[in-house]
Structure 1
Amino acid sequence: MNLVSIRVITADVARLVDFYERVTSLRATWATEDFAEIRTGSGTLAIGSTRTVPLFAPGSARPADNRSAIIEFRVDDVDAVHRDLAGSVDDIVKEPTTMPWGNRAFLFRDPDGNLVNLFTPVTPEAVERAG
């Protein structure tokens, strides 16, 4: 089994796609106006409209209602990305900080309130774990 993607449901697909394109410096692939994907080398962030929820199960997902998941991206230099995103991120949760497990992390919320963590392994142990 392989984890393929994380899907975020939103009331404004274009706004969220624009935000994640700026954060990742990657272009989204649009399937329809209700669904786009941002593909990285190791996984995909899928962004779907509230109009897609009934296709799965009506009422099974609500936009802008998540306080339990963190969308994470490993970056080469979290401090440089932090500087590059200055002014693009409104809701910063934690400025770049080296965590006890050896990753330097920058946490913020996307326009729908989902928590995003950009991180760089910085200690020898963290770099080794990251492979």
Structure 2
Amino acid sequence: MNLVSIRIITNDVSKLLEFYEQITQLKGIRYTEDFAELQTENATLAIGSTRTLQFFGGAEVAIAAQNHTAIIEFITDDVDRIYQEQSDFLASFLVQQPETMPWGNRSLLFRDPDGNLVNFFTPVSMDAISRFESKI
């Protein structure tokens, strides 16, 4: 088994896709008005409108902009460089400037326009580097 995708449900696919394209510098794929993906080497961030919930059992299955438990994480080779390049754009979304965590990752934490937590991190300790060496 392999995790391939995380899907965010939103009221505004365009706004969320543009945000993730800006912060990742990746081009998303817009399949329909209601569905887009941002594909990375290891996984895909899918973005679906609330209208797509009808295919999964109805509108009550998920509520847009209500995430209070998950953090969407992207590994990067230099989180400090990304912070410098994106600091103006991220200013109103910022939760925490780059900081080294006890488990050896240097993390930049912010929220997307729907309030979902996003963590860009770079492994910096020897243990963290060895855990993620195949992912960078």
Asked if these proteins are the same fold (TM beyond 0.5), I'd say yes
* Distance across 2 between alignment mates of 1:3 and 1:45: 11
TM-score by length of 1: 0.98
Q: Could you tell me which amino acid in structure 1 is paired with residue 125 of structure 2?
A: T
Which residue does 2:113 correspond to in 1?
111
* Distance across 2 between alignment mates of 1:65 and 1:36: 20
Point out 4+ residue stretches in structure 1 off by more than 6 angstroms: none
Which residue does 1:96 correspond to in 2?
98
Which residue does 1:8 correspond to in 2?
8
TM-score by length of 2: 0.94
1:53 aligns to what SS in structure 2?
helix
Q: Could you tell me which amino acid in structure 1 is paired with residue 45 of structure 2?
A: L
Give the stretch that moved more between structures: 92-101 or 81-90.
81-90
The count of corresponding residues between Structure 1 and Structure 2 is: 131
Which residue does 2:84 correspond to in 1?
83
1:91 shift after superposition: 2.0
Structure 2 residues not aligned, in runs of 5+: none
Which residue does 1:23 correspond to in 2?
23
Which residue does 1:63 correspond to in 2?
64
* Distance across 2 between alignment mates of 1:96 and 1:69: 19
Which residue does 2:127 correspond to in 1?
125
Which residue does 1:41 correspond to in 2?
41
Structure 1 residues not aligned, in runs of 5+: none
Greater fraction of residues in helix = 2
1:57 shift after superposition: 1.3
Per-residue Cα deviation, 1:31-61 (whole angstroms, up to 9, x for no partner):
1010000000000000000100111011101
Per-residue Cα deviation, 1:52-97 (whole angstroms, up to 9, x for no partner):
0111011101110001000000011000001111121212111100
